[in-house]
Structure 1
Amino acid sequence: MPGEPTDISTGNIELDEILRGGLTANRIYLLDGHPGAGKTTLGMQFLLDGIRKGETGLYVSLSETRTELEGIAKSHGWTLEGLHIHELVDPTDSLQADSQYTMFHPSEVELGETTRHMLAQVEKINPRRVVLDSLSELRLLAQSALRYRRQILALKHFFVGRDCTAIFLDDKTSPDHDLQLQSIAHGVISLDRLPADFGDERRRLRVVKYRGRSFVGGWHDFDIQRGGMKIYPRITTHYPPRPREHLASLLSGNASLDALLGKGIEPGTSTLMLGPAGAGKSSCSTLFATTACRRGERAVIFAFDESRQTLILRSKGLGMDLEELESQGLLEIRQVNPGEVSPGQFANMVRTSVQSKPDEKRVSVVVIDSLNGYLSAMPEERFLQIQMHELLNYLGNCGIATFLVVAQHGMLGTAMQTPVDASYLADSVILFRYFEAAGEIRQAISVVKKRDGSHERTIREFRMTDGKIIVGEPLINFHGILAGTPIFTGDKDNLLDEQGIDAKP
């Protein structure tokens, strides 16, 4: 409709996605954050995007010199050619006695002169995009809150009336975080940088305000990389679900295990593999992934705890050649370092991995091994369930079966503890246990929960040997399974024999 404001890009695809289309043109926006948060980088991306589209851009600097800005641009592989840079502080006079009082004893004349020079430059260039860096200098010159607010209001009316979109940068030096300034701006984007006790610091972004528009709220993790700011939008439920009526149940390739699960796992569901270390959780999850690949589908394994090489060697010993499946483009193994990845970055890794290209097979299985490693990437444990719930909802809408591996602390008895209770998030829970029988330590497997269908309630013996994953017949003579110390009291003849076992790998 004629007269309606148009949208312009921020120069960052992910931020445009968060803003549901970008910035409303001919408005004033506030970008605040502590020093080093990435304000200058994002401001440059905004201006350089306009230059690529043939729009005039102006960077007004009250604190950084042209040389410093060119150095920042060079570090990202950018060139500032075509961008107008106006420095309001002349470094040649900054140490003269007559000018030393400019920053420390502001006056009405100095504020007026600074504003006059800036507006004269805008009128001369007539830019479509402007970045003002930073408001903290104007705040010092204004000296009082009333004068500062009036000055910002005057700048707002000046820019809006000139068919210009302006972003004001602020470094949060004001003790009250300048809420009056946020009330003036059409939209407010806040950048934050959190130090970590170990590993890389965490950077995040939040849209505080956007008049008349919906946006993806909450914190979104981001990194500053060569080439600009890389934002990882928080996964939300606004992604439309994909039809799953034609998708068949996922089988493991092991007849006994599939029978235990009631004819396999349904697409779009999540399965929790729970048990102590070494009980077979990762191997069972990998079995589902490799079987899906053999059907011509794709699978992705996110390995937090063990190295890629260890995973490949262990799986090959059980008859699963992961390298061959990788060479065929059916399997992807992503090594994840919890100390270097943020929760938002990991969620973005999952989303980009499962998005199939037109010439690729669809991803049907995702394995997260393990949730303990994912927990290590979380700065605050209480948010893990919320993050994981959003991620599982997204994968479920895509029709992807997700396997979550959780290693319990301890090996036997009531001393075993689960680092985080994710059982209510999962549609199915497969429980792995050690048990004692005839002087030997053996392994048992059972399905304790399955929302989308019936399943066996028996306990079966589980073994990994001779290049095979073997699931035995139901063991009816058990007690102590719920106490964490299952004891077999039946006949040893009912146990798995080392010889002559017919089981599928």
Structure 2
Amino acid sequence: MQTPAAGDAAPIPTGVVGLDEILHGGYAAQRAHLIEGRPGSGKTTLGLQFLLDGVRRGERGLYITLSESRRELHSVAERHGWSLDGLEIYELVPPELSLDSEQQQSLIHSSDLELGETVRMALAEIERVSPVRVVFDSLSEIRLLSQGSLRYRRQVLALKSYFLLNNATVLMLDDLSSEDDDLNLHSISHAVLRLEQITPAYGAGRRRLHVIKMRGTPYASGYHDFVLRRGGVRIFPRLVAADHHTAFVPETIACGVSELDTALGGGLDRGTTSLIIGPSGAGKSTLALGYLVAALERGEPGLVISFDETLGILQRRAAGIGLPIDAHIEAGRLRVEQMDPADVSAGDFAGRIRDAVETDGARVVVIDSLTGYMSAMSGQPHLVLQMHEMTTYLNQQGVVTILVLAQHGMVGRMEAPVDLTYVSDTVIMLRFFEAAGRVRRALSVLKKRTGTHEDTIREFRIDAQGLRVGAVLENFRGVLTGVPTFEGNRADLLHDRPSEAAQITASGPGSHGAA
């Protein structure tokens, strides 16, 4: 028996990316923690990461397994690129199931033993190794041997007391094989973490973690998405915008097209969210690209979250309108994250944006498009809440955020699949209109919280010279109905000669403006 060590119940690292943030430092030292979840939810990987983190810190670790063999554990480690050297593994499995002929400890089938003997053997191994970190996998075997909830609770309580007397920090894994005993151990565990796996009707399965309890320690409540990939479990803490704020200098950034910047009251402001809304093909992505490239040319890092286009198509389209981004990608100033709506969770989405902002220093973030992101969410309310937290977080980081949202249809009355205007500081609406036998595009700024803006309608074009914005078109009617009609003079419209209007060129913001 040992006396309590220094740092009793102090947080120690979990070895899992994101989990320390959720637990406000990590697991409580010299306490027993219950990790529960269905088979395949990631409990074993979570336990191995905890022990391997201890090995890297020079701490002795012990993995006691009643459900998986040593060979299976090594196989799991190899798939993640890990080595289990320096980690003690004690297995209670039948001899015929073990292919390691050189192992030194006894091999015993748990079903052939009395419960007391099984527990005594585990305690003897703990006494021999004197570990700092222990993973006990799994409690379901103890539950089966107990043949009753009272005896089961008493045996687990005995294990917990022994761990505490030996100053060990323990993770007890439970696969929830019995619903009747689902909550049996919650009251005797210092902390309870549940891993869940959800399989949607289409797309990849989603995993999430829920901290049910943690005594005497604050923690981030709610569900936290996580992924299980090569390299182990990575958890994405639920984003709470109020916990993240960075001081920044408010300023207005321009894209260099004088007429467009004028319509926006000088440009877009740092720490604000702009929504570009309109039908498919109206030029929403190109408009966002103009402000992004202007920022990149000033040396400001940027991020594009693309649901609708591959990286190759984005590069070719940008080069085709005089806004090449290849050099910025190669220089590391621009990060493009291509996402499949069927395979991304809300936490993964938020995690990638946080990485770009907090690690790469991204100052402009473009999400193209929210229509694609909606497909990744289980319902509209979740999308609105998620985007509210995300945009608030980005605003508090001083980031210029540009959201692209496609409306249903291309001409006529249009409706947005979700209303995000209330989370947007600036709203830019694009429309098609017909004049002089051609399909043309019109732009108007409907809202800007941080300053004045034009209440006009301007024509704009996208061609090899980039984005061109014309003068104010005064003779419009029916724009907000979705069927704008131009009744003015044809001479007021943009022509094919680039010299007649402002342009964005690849030479940088310094050369932008009216020719």
Equivalent residue, structure 1, for 2:330: 327
Query: AA paired with 2:281?
Result: G
Of 145-154 and 232-241, the range deviating more from structure 2: 232-241
Q: 1:17-46, CA deviations, whole angstroms, 9 ceiling, x for partnerless residues?
A: 211101111111000111011101111111
1:302 to 302, 305, 310: 305
1:205 to 206, 209, 212: 209
Q: 2:19 & 2:190 partners in 1: Cα distance?
A: 16
2:140 to 122, 136, 153: 136
Equivalent residue, structure 2, for 1:48: 52
**CA deviation after TM superposition for structure 1 residue 382, in Å:** 2.7
Equivalent residue, structure 1, for 2:343: 340
Q: Which ranges of structure 1 fall in alignment gaps of 5 or more residues?
A: 95-99
Q: 1:402-446, CA deviations, whole angstroms, 9 ceiling, x for partnerless residues?
A: 1001111211122x2312211111111100011122333211111
Q: Report the CA distance shift for 1:75/1:316 in structure 2 as closer, same or farther (over 3 A).
A: closer
Equivalent residue, structure 2, for 1:23: 27
Q: 1:58 & 1:84 partners in 2: Cα distance?
A: 5
**CA deviation after TM superposition for structure 1 residue 93, in Å:** 9.9
Equivalent residue, structure 2, for 1:97: none
Equivalent residue, structure 1, for 2:263: 260
Q: 1:218-259, CA deviations, whole angstroms, 9 ceiling, x for partnerless residues?
A: 2222222222212222222254422223x4311111111111
Query: AA paired with 1:136?
Result: S
Q: Report the CA distance shift for 1:424/1:353 in structure 2 as closer, same or farther (over 3 A).
A: same
Of 227-236 and 181-190, the range deviating more from structure 2: 227-236
Equivalent residue, structure 2, for 1:37: 41
Q: After TM superposition, list the pairs within 5 Å mapping 1:202-281 onto structure 2.
A: 202-245=206-249, 247-281=250-284
Q: 2:17 touches 2:234 (CA, 8 Å); kept in 1?
A: no
**CA deviation after TM superposition for structure 1 residue 354, in Å:** 2.0
Pair 1:377-2:381 in alignment: no
Equivalent residue, structure 1, for 2:450: 452
Q: 1:61 & 1:466 partners in 2: Cα distance?
A: 65
**CA deviation after TM superposition for structure 1 residue 2, in Å:** 6.8
Pair 1:9-2:13 in alignment: yes
Q: Which ranges of structure 2 fall in alignment gaps of 5 or more residues?
A: 99-107, 505-515
TM-score, normalization by structure 2: 0.90
Q: 1:409 & 1:135 partners in 2: Cα distance?
A: 53
Q: Report the CA distance shift for 1:282/1:185 in structure 2 as closer, same or farther (over 3 A).
A: same
Q: 1:304 touches 1:369 (CA, 8 Å); kept in 2?
A: yes
Q: 2:465 touches 2:503 (CA, 8 Å); kept in 1?
A: no
**CA deviation after TM superposition for structure 1 residue 92, in Å:** 4.3
Equivalent residue, structure 1, for 2:102: none
| SS of 1:64 mapped into structure 2 | coil
Query: AA paired with 1:202?
Result: R
Q: Report the CA distance shift for 1:93/1:496 in structure 2 as closer, same or farther (over 3 A).
A: closer
Q: 2:30 touches 2:170 (CA, 8 Å); kept in 1?
A: yes
Q: 1:270 touches 1:402 (CA, 8 Å); kept in 2?
A: yes
Q: 1:88 touches 1:117 (CA, 8 Å); kept in 2?
A: no
Pair 1:354-2:357 in alignment: yes
Q: 1:339-377, CA deviations, whole angstroms, 9 ceiling, x for partnerless residues?
A: 3322211211111112356xxxx4321111111121222
Q: 1:367 touches 1:403 (CA, 8 Å); kept in 2?
A: yes
Of 163-172 and 323-332, the range deviating more from structure 2: 323-332
Equivalent residue, structure 1, for 2:500: 501
Equivalent residue, structure 1, for 2:476: 478
User: Identity over aligned residues, as a percent?
Assistant: 47
Q: After TM superposition, list the pairs within 5 Å mapping 1:353-502 onto structure 2.
A: 353-356=356-359, 362-414=361-413, 416-499=414-497, 500-502=499-501
* Number of matched pairs: 490
Query: AA paired with 1:249?
Result: T
Q: After TM superposition, list the pairs within 5 Å mapping 1:147-158 onto structure 2.
A: 147-158=151-162
Q: 2:11 touches 2:29 (CA, 8 Å); kept in 1?
A: yes
**CA deviation after TM superposition for structure 1 residue 3, in Å:** 6.6
Q: Report the CA distance shift for 1:255/1:93 in structure 2 as closer, same or farther (over 3 A).
A: closer
Query: AA paired with 2:336?
Result: I
